[in-house]
A = this chain, B = another copy of it.
Amino acid sequence: MLDYKLLEALVTVIEAGGFERAGVALGLSQSAVSQRIKLLEARLGQPVLIRSPTLQATPTGQRLLNHAQQVQLLERDLGRTLPGLNADRTRLRIALNADSLATWWADAIGEFCREEGLLLDLVIEDQDIGLRRMREGDVAACLCSGDQPVAGARSTLLGHMTYRALARPDYLAHHFPEGPQQAAFRDAPAIVFGPDDQLQHRFLAQRGYHGRFPYHLCPSSEGFVRLAQAGMGYGMIPDHQGHPLVASGDLADLAPGEGIAVNLYWHYWRHGGDFMERLTSTLIRKAQRCLQVPG
């Protein structure tokens, strides 16, 4: 079998983001960690890590990480039937979209984590990057709007979040006195999550507008809402955050009835074992309460 001490060093260097931190996490010196990586590379006859400009796994290193992650999940299952085997808590690295993390995610997974002693390493990524990190073995699961599973994984629809174009009432009166007319979009500042954010473009395309528009870039779910509350722009806000603010009159809907539904799929390794299956069942069940589910 593989030497899992060496693999563990690789996993920890990537998770902790450096040799020194990996040493702290493993209770080893930095040079002992470095030795293990070197030995792993010597056995394979090729590098597993790229040191610069940023520390990352080589394609070979990624295959090892992917394998180690699946082994850890299987160990977790084994630990249930042999409780004395492993006193460590399971850590699971999961990529998910910022809006889920800022809203319903903790409600859906909290009880499972408490009962199973599961610790989460959460990584905020949009769909393309999240699935790429999954393919590269850097995360064990991914929650995103893409439905196509990567090789070796399954995906299941949990439900959807509905986004509406919201802004402060005085902002709407000033910038959209005639409602969501095309001419107004050219000058009214929008709030966009990031260069990859397609929601704003989808909303404008729905209204038949394809031109340029001014925008703030705000890669924070909560910051996004705060910018809207400060009257700085209009933006696509999920109902989880928007409903209470519309109810209180803080925000208003620019185009009532034109919400955009974004499906959320849970991607997980097919060979993740019983633990991953139970986590998946929990999420499917909790989504009934936390998300809008397919009717």
Task: Give chain A's interface residues, CB within 8 Å of chain B.
Answer: 16-18, 21, 25, 27, 53, 56, 89, 98, 101-103, 105-107, 109-111, 113-114, 119-124, 189, 195, 212, 214-223, 226-227, 229-232
Contact = CB atoms under 8 A, between A and B. Distances in A.
A288 to B, nearest CB: 17
A276 B214 CA distance: 20
A119 B226 contact: no
A217 B96 CA distance: 13
Contacts of A122: 216-220, 223
A124 B219 contact: yes
A124 B220 contact: yes
Contacts of A123: 219
A106 B195 contact: no
Contact of A110 (B53, B89, B114, B227): B227
Given A103-B226, A111-B230, A122-B220, 18 more contacts: A21-B195, A98-B220, A101-B218, A101-B220, A101-B223, A102-B220, A102-B223, A102-B226, A106-B223, A106-B227, A113-B189, A114-B231, A119-B216, A120-B232, A122-B216, A122-B223, A220-B221, A221-B222
A131 to B, nearest CB: 17
Contacts of A195: 16-18, 21
Contacts of A16: 195
7 contacts: A21-B195, A25-B212, A98-B220, A103-B222, A105-B223, A106-B226, A122-B219
B226 A101 contact: yes
Contacts of A220: 98, 101-102, 122, 124, 220-222
B89 A226 contact: no
Contacts of A216: 113, 119-122
